A and B are shown apart, each in its own frame.
Chain A
Amino acid sequence: MSRAASRIANTFERLAREKRKALVPFVTAGDPAPNITVQLMHAMVDAGVDIIELGVPFSDPMADGPVIQRSSERALKFGVGLNDVLAYVSEFRKTNQLTPVVLMGYANPIERMGMQVFAERAGAAGVDGVLVVDYPPEESHELLATMDAAGIDVIYLLSPTSSPERIKLVSVAARGYIYYVSLKGVSGAANIDTSDVESMIAKIRLQTKLPIGVGFGIRDGATAKHIARFADAVVIGSRLIQEMEAATPDTAVEKVRALLKNIRETMDS
């Protein structure tokens, strides 16, 4: 496969040169309110994040825990759909051409829009990657071909229960980076066992040269720093959403900026 180096690849190359690891926040588009999302994306970049994972709200987020599920329900109350999410990315791209944006969500909103239409609109909006939780490699040949053609990376998950065969399968299909789900369980669950994560990442590296991000269960700077010793990217989601839940709509953006800035500094120290 040959195509122009993606914003995601460029970002990891730059980080490698700088000997730093990627900090990747996850927030749900439209939560806590639709008019905050673009502002929040810029604030997270200011705080020092490298890639933004933007959740596409879905009515039945089966693989997510209660925190992300609540964020989805709040966004859905505002009627936020895939078209709105793409509009936020377009808006963000007006002033930011560097920070990769990955849409993360479930298959049905994409199926409803139509794969080809989605690829065109996402490409035009400036989306760099998609992570569709319930499209495993076996069921996503069409997604992968369509996104490859549109120059969008398809990011896949691996988990503690992934067999060597599945690690191989995912490594062949994966573009951009691999997202390692560090827990058996749903997003936002208990704290992670970092030594298990380290040995699994070593196994994955035998099969792929792609960067590996780790998410699910990372709640503070110290854990992020620890994970960053052996992973290429650290993903933080539920913790950010909880921070916003504890804030008012006026203070949510600043709260997230401060938290991410603190995590960034701890990671880099």
Chain B
Amino acid sequence: MQMQVEKYDLPDARGHFGPYGGVFVAETLQAALLQLNIEYAKAKADPAFVAEIQYELKHYVGRPSPIYHAKRLSEELGGAQIFLKREDLNHTGAHKVNNTVGQALLARRMGKRRVIAETGAGQHGVATATVAARYGMECVVYMGSEDVRRQAQNVYRMNLLGAKVVPVDSGSKTLKDALNEAMRDWVTNVESTFYIIGTVAGPHPYPMMVRDFNSVVGKECLTQMPEITGRQPDVVLACVGGGSNAMGIFYDYIPQTGVRLIGVEAGGDGIATGRHAASLTAGSPGILHGNRTYLIQDANGQISDTHSVSAGLDYPGVGPEHAWLKDSKRAEYVAINDDEALAAFHRLCRTEGIIPALESSHAVAHAMKMAPSMTKENVLLVNLSGRGDKDMATVAERSHAATGYPQ
């Protein structure tokens, strides 16, 4: 009953997922995007390129990542069995490296010696700096000055890896502004430079390409879950900021219509307060960063400041494929607020000895909400997209008051 397969072949040739996606950029970037589109299509069809990525993912990243049965957590909750896809065990500590390996190898194939990236929490910046060092490329990472402050440790890691981190002081000084600045760099240095976008947003072909490179996550789950439990999960959960780890685990499950897909957005202080980053839950369609998607915006169409305890989810847009999966009802999207995510963070630390990223803690929190009302035979699969080492300062600052756990 779970193995019903429906055809799914989005995006179309111009990058549309229904009304979403597309190429909404100035003329100055059109040629570069067209070239990228052509080169990516060629690379994808080249067995040598595919084999090279597979080799790197196995020997450098450490794939496949295991799936772990969180037995103590499941027993405590007294309902569904919770399984964790351990992307936190990848080299660099998150799923982000799946994508940067792919894009850096594409950059090298295209003869580009300089790579640039935007970063929020710093995970994508670190993953980009890592592969740039690995392949001997110059690397510049744009990061909102507010995030530079919040994520000092990742800034230091990028510097160690030889990347130049450029703080961005414009706008809200966070991820969206870093993305604007990286785009400006790319327009200016388009001949020498490859722009490694870190999430399934931006103009076509980025949402498709980043999804493809991360889809190794869901592909592994499709084989691993039957090996471990004898079947596919009832529900797959993942946190959604831009949405790359969620698209990575969702993509191969889209045709498996018996499997529910749930994306968990950042509810911040609560949707009603307006201080959140839940664009699918509380936003409306519009155009930002080269694609049409759900946005958090005001009545004038200005992009609003967002809030989340987790810098990696603090983004006012979302990948256009998620917008389509929401409208087509193939996936559901919910919001988990800061306090719930922090409580889940602590609980996973103490029941399973796993320190999750605050981003991933949102997905864990929603699984914890769902599990008690389900039976012991039900299976929830959570994409544990990253580890929480980077979040120590934030957690220490926030936890005492919010959850009652000691600092």
Q: Which of A113, A134, A185 has the most chain B CB atoms inside 10 A of its CB?
A: A134
- In Å, the complex CA distance between A73 and B191 comes to 30
Residues in A136-171 with C-beta less than 8 Å from chain B: 136, 138-139, 156-159, 161-163, 166, 170
Given known contacts A60-B288, A81-B300, A163-B31, is B188 in contact with A186 (CB within 8 Å)? Answer: yes
Tally of A-B residue pairs with Cβ under 8 A? 126
Q: How far is the CB of A127 from chain B (nearest CB, A)?
A: 17
Q: Does B30 contact A (CB under 8 A)?
A: yes
- Which of B18-26, B99-107, B255-263, B366-374 contacts its partner? B18-26
Q: A60-B176, A108-B301 are in contact. Are A136 and B28 (CB under 8 A)?
A: no
Are B31 and A107 in contact, with the CB atoms below 8 A? no
Q: How many residues of B contact A (CB 8 A)?
A: 37
Q: A184-B187, A184-B188, A186-B188 are in contact. Are A157 and B27 (CB under 8 A)?
A: yes
Tell me which of A17-25, A62-70, A194-202 binds B. Answer: A62-70
Minimum Cβ distance to chain B for residue A198 (Å): 19
Are A109 and B301 CB-contacts (below 8 A) given A60-B180, A62-B289, A163-B31? Answer: yes
Which residues of A lie under 8 Å from residue B297 when comparing CB positions?
108, 112
B400 located at the interface, meaning its Cβ lies under 8 Å from any Cβ of chain A in the complex? no
- Chain A residues in 8 Å Cβ range of B180: 60-62
Chain B CB count within 10 A is highest, among A58, A106, A163, A184, for A184
Q: Which of B22-56 contact A (CB under 8 A)?
A: 22-28, 30-32, 34
B141 interface hit (Cβ, 8 Å)? no
B170 surroundings in chain A (CB, below 8 A): 66, 69, 73
Interface positions of A from 113 to 149, Cβ below 8 Å from B: 113, 133-136, 138-139
Query: Quick check: A111 and B23 within 8 Å, CB to CB?
Result: no
Select A186's contact among B27, B187, B191, beta carbons within 8 Å.
B187
Instruction: Please give me the residue from chain B that is nearest to A180 by CB atom.
Output: B27
A76 cross-chain contacts in B, Cβ below 8 A = 302
With a cutoff of 8 Å between Cβ atoms, the chain B residues found around residue A62 in the complex are 25-26, 180, 183-184, 289-290
- Is B70 at the interface (CB under 8 A from chain A)? no
Task: List 7 A–B pairs whose Cβ atoms lie within 8 Å, in order of A's numbering.
Answer: A59-B302, A76-B302, A112-B300, A134-B24, A136-B30, A157-B26, A186-B187
- 6 cross-chain pairs, A with B, having the tightest CB-CB distances, nearest first: A112-B301, A81-B300, A109-B301, A161-B31, A185-B188, A157-B27
